[in-house]
Chains A and B, each alone.
Chain A
Amino acid sequence: MTPTRSLAFAIAASTLGACGEEVTRYAPRDASAWDARGAAWEAPDGGAAGYGFVTNSLMNSVSILDLAAGRTIATIPVGVVPLAENGPHHLALDPASNALFMPLSMPPAAVPSGPHAAHGSSTRPGVLVKRALDDFRLLGRADVDANPGDMLLSPDRRRIFVSHFDLLRAQANPGNREAQRSNLVVVDARTMERTHTVPVCVAAHGMVVSPDGNTVYMACYGDDALGVVSFAGPSPTVRLVPIRNELAQNPTAPTYGPYAITASPDGTTVWLSCSPPNPSAGSRGLLIAFDTRTQSFDTARAATGLIGTPLFGAYAPDGSTMLVPLQGRDAIARVTTAAPLRVLEQTPVRGADCVLPHQISLGPDGRYYLVCEGTHDRLRQERGTVLALDPDTLAVTARYEVGVYPDAISFLGGAR
């Protein structure tokens, strides 16, 4: 309470009684009674080696990894809807504003929670939340559409982009392509107010943003396309670039199903990782490059012979190669980034270490970090893992147990 407000409050309280009576004046309080008691997690070495923040999408929490100590040091709840699965998916950190952002997808329960709930809708709006990095207090929230998928912070940290992997919307509007399209929602990172709602494509998921922050590239699962959304002009413009010659005939059963996306650090290449819902024999998913300078797919940089379905990858520091996690036969592929694409290795991961690798990221300590979903078994609380990998040999140098169904990792601190 400000001094002026405190004074007004105290005086007002004192004048409530009639004259000649005892009146009670309450002492003002300078600090907020709601201040957190302290940090929600401790940084034991001052953050010199960096920390990994991992969303646990079936545990309503974020796990914090101490990269120097090689252990999980905290698991902190992040949900905002009581009792329910809140489904924290991807996340972004902004140390400058002491903020952590994440969309909560509010997934329908795998098992109806009771006979009454089974009557209800399974489409609930998602929630984008902003929490403090130190004590995780809630700093803001914004409603987004149902089934939020990926999220990004713009390079200037002012805007948040949220995609919506909204298959239900596609299924609910057969034959109406416009109605099937999911929105790209843009939220002001400071005020948490929605600034743009841009219909882009059917069931968009993975996103990357250009280094200048003006273009968002989206994996358009139901369209078999890359969505290119430009914010350079006075209003956003959308262009869909089909992977092959045309958009998917049936958006609920696309041929390729682009789902994940990876960008080169210089922004000249965007890679689509495809997860076809009905893979034909010999086709486990396509990995293909899109050249942002020519605005076209580069068929000389495409792979279809991978032993599993590719997901979210990471570039090597020198940019010559890229690592991509594969699911189905759980493995890591290393491919060249220049044409012609060559698959240098496909190294299986040990089941005891990693089930369903989902995302690989280059950490601040120069190692790769592989997020493994685990078995998604919430009832048995079987946890997923994060593996630290030697960048050259891909040998496991640390294994972190995290929560149920980890989905994404972001880093704080460290040298990089």
Chain B
Amino acid sequence: MSPRASLVALALAAASCGDTERLAPLAERGALLAADARVTRSQYNGFSCLTCHAVSPAAQGQRALPGATLQGAARRPSFWGGEVTNLREAVERCWTGFMRGVPADLDGPDGQAIGAWLDALAPEGSTEGAAAVTTTWTRVVRDPGEGGDRARAQAVWGRACATCHGALETGAGRLGPLVSVLPRDTITEHCDDDIAAVGYTDRQAYIRAIATEKTRHGSFLGYAGVMPPFSTEALSDDEMRDLAALFRCP
């Protein structure tokens, strides 16, 4: 059937049903997609936009999220701590880097709807959330030290990590089967490393540094996977030190 014939058939089908029809702004569809991990069409993706971003500071509450709030994002002059000045390019980093999507889909109907939603969060003339968000990346990571508090770390875990990694030790409720169970998987993977080769003599310091590196760099700077990085604004160095205390080699 030709595209034109398909259109005619669809139109006839629509007209014959007697449905009531509601015309909605495209942004409304974007809002639904922003909360849906299926949007990138990757069977391996567990992230939606709202996994890592809150719409507003009020919606974020006490959660420590790696992404900036989205209200006003469409009016911001820069993103990713000043690394990007174009909204689409900023979103493409998430879309391909974390959500396993293909860039072209951002220009398709679903991507357009998400763009429309982001636009609608920042109406013309609005300045709410329009300032660039200060984001500091810790590029060179070292052991945060052994002063971390494991009790405080439990609370930090709940605010920053549990959404994706689920419960500590068991991973119950994590985003998907590919997501690491922590701290177990990191310990299993790294506690037998040749630490002298990378300048370490203390294995506990090393595993703390590994945990910190993964948190600060996510899937970048030599690491892999799809984890987004946490800036020092999203997660303070004190909070990071507490979290690192959860990681101990046997």
Interface, chain A (partner B; CB < 8 A): 1, 4-5, 7-9, 11-12, 14-15, 17, 19-29, 32-34, 36-37, 40, 60, 76-77, 79, 81-84, 109, 111-120, 135-138
Contact (Cβ within 8 A) B84 A77: yes
Q: Does B159 contact A (CB under 8 A)?
A: no
Q: Does B198 contact A (CB under 8 A)?
A: yes
Contact (Cβ within 8 A) B83 A17: no
Q: Does B119 contact A (CB under 8 A)?
A: yes
Name B229's closest neighbour in chain A (CB-CB): A83
Contact (Cβ within 8 A) B7 A8: yes
- Tell me the complex Cα distance, A116–B84, Å: 26
Contact (Cβ within 8 A) A36 B200: no
Task: Indicate whether A26 sits within 8 Å of B113 (C-beta atoms), given known contacts A33-B118, A76-B85, A117-B213.
Answer: yes
Contact (Cβ within 8 A) B80 A82: yes
Residues of B contacting A25 in the complex (Cβ-Cβ under 8 angstroms)? 21-24
Secondary structure dominating the interface of A: loop
A22 → chain B, closest Cβ, in Å? 5
Q: Does B102 contact A (CB under 8 A)?
A: no
Contact (Cβ within 8 A) B213 A135: no
- Tell me the complex Cα distance, A296–B169, Å: 71
- Tell me the complex Cα distance, A370–B101, Å: 44
Contact of A115 among B88, B116, B209 (CB under 8 A): B209
Contact (Cβ within 8 A) B24 A26: yes
Name B76's closest neighbour in chain A (CB-CB): A37
Residues of B contacting A20 in the complex (Cβ-Cβ under 8 angstroms)? 17-19
Quick check: which of B57-65, B215-223, B239-247 contacts chain A, the rest being far away? B215-223
* Complex interface residues of chain B between 196 and 222 (CB less than 8 A to chain A): 197-200, 206, 209-210, 212-214, 216-217, 220-222
Contact (Cβ within 8 A) A12 B116: no
Residues of A contacting B13 in the complex (Cβ-Cβ under 8 angstroms)? 15
Inter-chain pairs besides A114-B142, A117-B221, A138-B89, 16 sampled, C-beta below 8 Å: A1-B112, A11-B14, A19-B19, A21-B20, A24-B28, A27-B24, A33-B119, A79-B83, A82-B97, A83-B221, A113-B221, A115-B141, A115-B200, A117-B223, A118-B197, A135-B85
Residues of A contacting B116 in the complex (Cβ-Cβ under 8 angstroms)? 29, 33
Contact (Cβ within 8 A) B14 A24: no
B145 → chain A, closest Cβ, in Å? 15
**B22, B109, B115, most chain A CB atoms within 10 A:** B109
Q: List 5 A-B contacts (CB under 8 A).
A: A29-B116, A83-B221, A113-B217, A117-B217, A118-B198
Contact (Cβ within 8 A) A77 B20: no
B248 → chain A, closest Cβ, in Å? 16
Name B108's closest neighbour in chain A (CB-CB): A1
Contact of A34 among B106, B220, B223, B229 (CB under 8 A): B106
**A19, A79, A84, A114, most chain B CB atoms within 10 A:** A114
**A33, A118, A138, most chain B CB atoms within 10 A:** A33
Residues of A contacting B198 in the complex (Cβ-Cβ under 8 angstroms)? 112, 115, 118-119
Contact of B28 among A26, A84, A109, A118 (CB under 8 A): A26
Name B77's closest neighbour in chain A (CB-CB): A37
Task: Indicate whether A113 sits within 8 Å of B83 (C-beta atoms), given known contacts A33-B115, A81-B220, A84-B220.
Answer: no
Q: Does B87 contact A (CB under 8 A)?
A: yes
Q: Does B100 contact A (CB under 8 A)?
A: no
- Tell me the complex Cα distance, A4–B3, Å: 9
Q: Does B75 contact A (CB under 8 A)?
A: yes
- Tell me the complex Cα distance, A112–B213, Å: 11
- Tell me the complex Cα distance, A114–B190, Å: 13
Q: Does B185 contact A (CB under 8 A)?
A: no
B105 → chain A, closest Cβ, in Å? 12
Q: Does B48 contact A (CB under 8 A)?
A: no
- Tell me the complex Cα distance, A178–B107, Å: 43
Task: Indicate whether A117 sits within 8 Å of B222 (C-beta atoms), given known contacts A11-B7, A135-B86.
Answer: yes
Task: Sort A-B residue pairs by CB-CB distance and give the 3 closest, nearest first.
Answer: A33-B115, A117-B222, A34-B88
- Tell me the complex Cα distance, A34–B114, Å: 10
Contact of A77 among B25, B83, B209 (CB under 8 A): B83
Q: Does B123 contact A (CB under 8 A)?
A: no
Task: Indicate whether A11 sits within 8 Å of B83 (C-beta atoms), given known contacts A19-B19, A83-B221, A115-B209.
Answer: no
A-contact bits for B114-139, CB 8 A (1 contact / 0 none)? 11101100000000000000000101
Task: Indicate whether A26 sits within 8 Å of B29 (C-beta atoms), given known contacts A12-B10, A34-B87.
Answer: yes
Residues of B contacting A60 in the complex (Cβ-Cβ under 8 angstroms)? 83
* Complex interface residues of chain B between 62 and 78 (CB less than 8 A to chain A): 74-75, 78
Q: Does B173 contact A (CB under 8 A)?
A: no
Contact (Cβ within 8 A) B18 A11: no
- Tell me the complex Cα distance, A116–B29, Å: 41
Contact (Cβ within 8 A) B85 A26: no
Q: Does B140 contact A (CB under 8 A)?
A: yes
Residues of A contacting B86 in the complex (Cβ-Cβ under 8 angstroms)? 34, 36, 135-138
**A12, A20, A28, A116, most chain B CB atoms within 10 A:** A116
Contact (Cβ within 8 A) B210 A116: yes
Contact (Cβ within 8 A) B26 A21: no
Task: Indicate whether A29 sits within 8 Å of B112 (C-beta atoms), given known contacts A60-B83, A84-B220, A117-B223.
Answer: yes
Residues of A contacting B216 in the complex (Cβ-Cβ under 8 angstroms)? 114
Contact (Cβ within 8 A) A83 B10: no
- Tell me the complex Cα distance, A398–B82, Å: 28
Name A7's closest neighbour in chain B (CB-CB): B7
Residues of A contacting B84 in the complex (Cβ-Cβ under 8 angstroms)? 77
- Tell me the complex Cα distance, A114–B229, Å: 14
Residues of B contacting A19 in the complex (Cβ-Cβ under 8 angstroms)? 16-19
**A29, A76, A115, A135, most chain B CB atoms within 10 A:** A115
Residues of A contacting B29 in the complex (Cβ-Cβ under 8 angstroms)? 24, 26
Residues of A contacting B150 in the complex (Cβ-Cβ under 8 angstroms)? none
- Tell me the complex Cα distance, A115–B142, Å: 8
- Tell me the complex Cα distance, A215–B75, Å: 47
